[in-house]
Chains A and B, each alone.
Chain A
């Protein structure tokens, strides 16, 4: 009972700190699609004074995946006859000449899986098919792709490979830091990398806090930013029940063994050096680009789509001429409208306003 009283008092104080902030304008960028969604769903934006601006950054792996990746996947299905296994979010992302859903309607085999490990199981159960898993994701998801390769290797699977567009967040932190005063660092990415990765950014003048996903955790993280802003670069781990200083050594070892850093294109941000993860040369038999010699794909997106600007925090979905008109969750034009974690999808669902839920 005493602990509950302490907690209520602490959260009331946190809300007071955030709601009464009257200092210089404070731009806070979340770089996690789940943060974007939860901030809307919980009504956090409705609590904030005009002096605090929340910017939705490049935190959704589907959204930052370039159009050319979809084109590569469609090429594999169309020209090589492979079975594509994919997370469901990718299926409706428009490529240069259609989505995976369009390809499926024309006869391509596209299987939706929950985890890369299910793709290995599918390949095991269907030895007559060549199976390619579309491996997108940040540090949270990529270890599962590494485990998929580990299992496929142990089984000597010959009909399984990955088409990779995996990315690491630290390059994005560096690329985007001038767009904000502080980051809400993604809690689950930090569970893998450890808090030491964002903590080290303070030496480069970059501030932020690791945040969890519940109302208490988000409010706490925002209060800590407000209390710390305006002084020296700062860092705090506001999600210690999940994030440790060193993260997950086991996951880091998997990434190191099965992947290798490469330059990678991010939708809206361009090519960021060493921000991607490709299949390590020692496991090239699982690299679909090596196995199928995929020719370079052009990657043409709708020129009116402003997903790139939205991912950089340069504008909001409401500034896009397509948003809510030709681009809706039912008929998405840009990737940010496709994924449930995308900024445009969150704006569309909550219409840029939500009721306060902390009272």
Chain B
């Protein structure tokens, strides 16, 4: 039950969003988010979109790591 599911917004109407999670579509409440447009990504918990998100977790990882360990990141080797 306590699993967040990232999903892409297909349409929004009257505080309800139709979202697509890896091909599975269902309506969720969008009442927590003030501005939501088709094409946005959201995190869904128990039928409620709790946050807008970006799709790119790897760019996030690079950004976080370079702020913590810039020397290692810049000198690291690629696999």
Which A residues are within 8 Å of any B CB, using their own CB?
3-14, 16-17, 32-34, 60-62, 87-90, 114-118, 136-138, 140-141, 143-144, 147, 187-188, 191-192, 212-214, 216-217, 219-220, 223-224, 227-228, 236, 238-243, 248, 250-251, 254, 339-341, 359
Q: B50 contacts A241, CB within 8 Å?
A: no
| Distance between Cα atoms of A340 and B78 in the complex (Å) | 35
| Distance between Cα atoms of A230 and B64 in the complex (Å) | 20
A225 nearest in chain B by CB position: B68
Q: Which residues of chain B come closer than 8 Å to A359, judged between CB atoms?
A: 79
Q: B47 contacts A248, CB within 8 Å?
A: no
Q: B51 contacts A216, CB within 8 Å?
A: no
Interface CB pairs A-B, < 8 A, 28: A3-B59, A8-B78, A10-B66, A12-B77, A14-B61, A32-B2, A33-B3, A61-B1, A62-B1, A90-B1, A114-B46, A118-B47, A137-B1, A137-B2, A140-B4, A144-B48, A147-B29, A147-B48, A188-B50, A191-B51, A212-B60, A216-B57, A216-B58, A217-B57, A223-B68, A236-B68, A248-B51, A254-B32
| Distance between Cα atoms of A195 and B29 in the complex (Å) | 24
| Distance between Cα atoms of A227 and B72 in the complex (Å) | 11
Pick from A140, A224, A241, A242: contact of B2, CB below 8 A: A140
Q: Which residues of chain A come closer than 8 Å to B54, judged between CB atoms?
A: 241
Q: A341 contacts B57, CB within 8 Å?
A: no
With A10-B76, A241-B53 as given contacts, are A61 and B2 in contact (CB-CB < 8 Å)? Answer: yes
A78 to chain B, nearest CB (A): 23
Q: Which of A87, A216, A250 counts the most chain B CB atoms within 10 A?
A: A216
| Distance between Cα atoms of A268 and B22 in the complex (Å) | 37
Pick from B46, B48, B60, B73: contact of A9, CB below 8 A: B73
B31 at the A interface (CB under 8 A): yes
Pick from B3, B47, B57, B68: contact of A212, CB below 8 A: B57
Find residues 16-57 in chain B having any chain A CB closer than 8 Å to their own CB.
Answer: 28-29, 31-34, 43, 45-48, 50-51, 53-54, 56-57
| Distance between Cα atoms of A47 and B30 in the complex (Å) | 39
Number of B residues, CB within 8 Å of A? 40
| Distance between Cα atoms of A242 and B56 in the complex (Å) | 11
Q: Which residues of chain A come closer than 8 Å to B62, judged between CB atoms?
A: 3, 6-7, 9-11
| Distance between Cα atoms of A9 and B29 in the complex (Å) | 39
Q: Sorted from nearest, which 7 A-B pairs have the closest CB atoms?
A: A115-B47, A13-B76, A87-B1, A10-B62, A216-B61, A13-B72, A220-B61
Q: Which residues of chain B come closer than 8 Å to A88, judged between CB atoms?
A: 1
Q: Which residues of chain B come closer than 8 Å to A227, judged between CB atoms?
A: 68-69
Pick from B29, B48, B58: contact of A11, CB below 8 A: B58
B32 to chain A, nearest CB (A): 4
A33 nearest in chain B by CB position: B2
With A141-B1, A191-B43 as given contacts, are A9 and B77 in contact (CB-CB < 8 Å)? Answer: yes
| Distance between Cα atoms of A149 and B51 in the complex (Å) | 21
Pick from A13, A136, A138, A141: contact of B73, CB below 8 A: A13
B74 nearest in chain A by CB position: A9
Q: B57 contacts A250, CB within 8 Å?
A: no
Q: Which residues of chain B come closer than 8 Å to A340, judged between CB atoms?
A: 3
With A62-B1, A220-B65 as given contacts, are A143 and B48 in contact (CB-CB < 8 Å)? Answer: yes
B65 to chain A, nearest CB (A): 4
| Distance between Cα atoms of A137 and B4 in the complex (Å) | 13
Q: A89 contacts B53, CB within 8 Å?
A: no
Q: Which residues of chain A come closer than 8 Å to B59, judged between CB atoms?
A: 3, 7
A223 nearest in chain B by CB position: B65
Q: A16 contacts B2, CB within 8 Å?
A: no
A118 nearest in chain B by CB position: B47
With A114-B47, A223-B68 as given contacts, are A241 and B57 in contact (CB-CB < 8 Å)? Answer: yes
Q: B47 contacts A144, CB within 8 Å?
A: yes
Q: Which residues of chain B come closer than 8 Å to A5, judged between CB atoms?
A: 78
Pick from B2, B45, B64, B79: contact of A60, CB below 8 A: B2
Q: 18 additional contacts, CB 8 Å, given A8-B78, A60-B2?
A: A10-B61, A10-B66, A12-B78, A13-B65, A13-B72, A34-B4, A87-B1, A115-B46, A115-B47, A141-B46, A188-B4, A216-B58, A216-B60, A220-B60, A224-B65, A241-B56, A243-B51, A248-B50
